[in-house]
Copies of this chain bind each other. A is one copy, B any other.
Amino acid sequence: MRTGVIGLGAMGMPIAANLHQAGYLAAAWNRTRAKAEAFARQTGAAIASTPVELATQCELILISVSADQDLLEVIDALLSGLAPGSVVVDTSTVSAQTARQVAQQLARKGVHFLDAPVTGGVEGAKSAKLTMMVGGDAVVLERVRPTLEAIVQRIVHMGPAGSGQMTKATNQIMAAGVNQAVTEALAFAKAAGLSLDKVIEAVGGGAAGNWFLSHRGPTMVRDNFTPGFRLALHHKDLSICKQMASDLGARLPVIEMTLIHYQRLMETGYGDEDISALFRLKQKLFEGEP
């Protein structure tokens, strides 16, 4: 299926590279043109000069951007080029409400939309081992599934439009809590004078084991906080989650705590680091800082 990719960021770039390798990529477009040109030079892939030009060449368009506003702008820029029957798949993390709004906007032009956020980190994007959680029409999903399988390992159809994003919100909440768990525990272990590499080995194999400990533990204990997943971006996601929970009449105590911690890290210049930079703050608890 002739596929276009919009957005060549930390996730979009390896996604586009895998589609190109599988022979599906018709063209890519990126807001910052220099990035698209670098991608074209590295891979030999074609780049489009505008979203509309890309839309006219493709039956399937994959979007990977950072925030709700970016998605809405991309959709506006694509709209006049999209043929009825074509499919837009958004792999970004945005609110369920925005996803439902875009689905309705495209439906009026006879264009299908799937909200299809992913998890598995940059590693998963590179190795095509992402998990995709999809909201929208199951029949449309089946049509594009063979192409999507070039970039993901697992696809779970969650329900109607917006339910992919609700599932991703659940994922972001869980990831925040696991980050709290791992960084607080490792700060304790460090203060206790234990070998952190041995702790990761011992704890990782048991009932407290988790992806984040195995993949970010070894780097965070070496003060390496290269993203991975940018802390400021997770802060944005969690703000949306807090609002969603509030709309459901509830509070999320772990998320409220994490938003405060992330805010403090962003104010002290760590917003562009990986979310494991929370380890910086947890260590301060053992150095007598509040």
Contacts and interface: CB of A to CB of B under 8 A. Distances in A.
Interface in A162-184: 163, 166-167, 169-178, 180-182, 184
Contact of A180 (B177, B208, B249): B177
Interface in A49-71: none
A140 interface: no
A212 interface: yes
A156 B198 contact: yes
B286 A207 contact: no
B188 A170 contact: yes
Contact of A185 (B177, B192, B201, B205): B177
A174 B194 CA distance: 15
* Copies of this chain per assembly: 2
Interface string A93-123: 0001000000000000000000000111100
Contact of A285 (B167, B176, B192, B251): B251
A241 B208 CA distance: 15
Contact of A205 (B154, B158, B166): B154
B255 A175 contact: no
Given A250-B191, A288-B249, A207 B176 contact: no
Contacts of A83: none
A170 to B, nearest CB: 4
Contacts of A77: none
A131 B206 contact: yes
Given A177-B182, A178-B178, A192-B244, A198 B120 contact: no
A180 B119 contact: no
A170 B156 contact: no
A167 B118 CA distance: 34
A269 interface: no
A181 B185 contact: no
Given A188-B252, A286-B248, A174 B198 contact: no
Contacts of A169: 188, 192
Interface centre among A159, A188, A212, A285 (most CB of B within 10 A): A188
Given A184-B254, A194-B163, A208 B202 contact: no
Interface of A: 96, 118-121, 124, 130-131, 133, 153-154, 156-159, 163, 166-167, 169-178, 180-182, 184-189, 191-195, 198-199, 201-203, 205-213, 215, 229, 241, 244-245, 248-255, 257, 285-286, 288
9 contacts: A96-B192, A170-B203, A171-B203, A174-B203, A174-B210, A177-B184, A184-B255, A188-B244, A210-B211
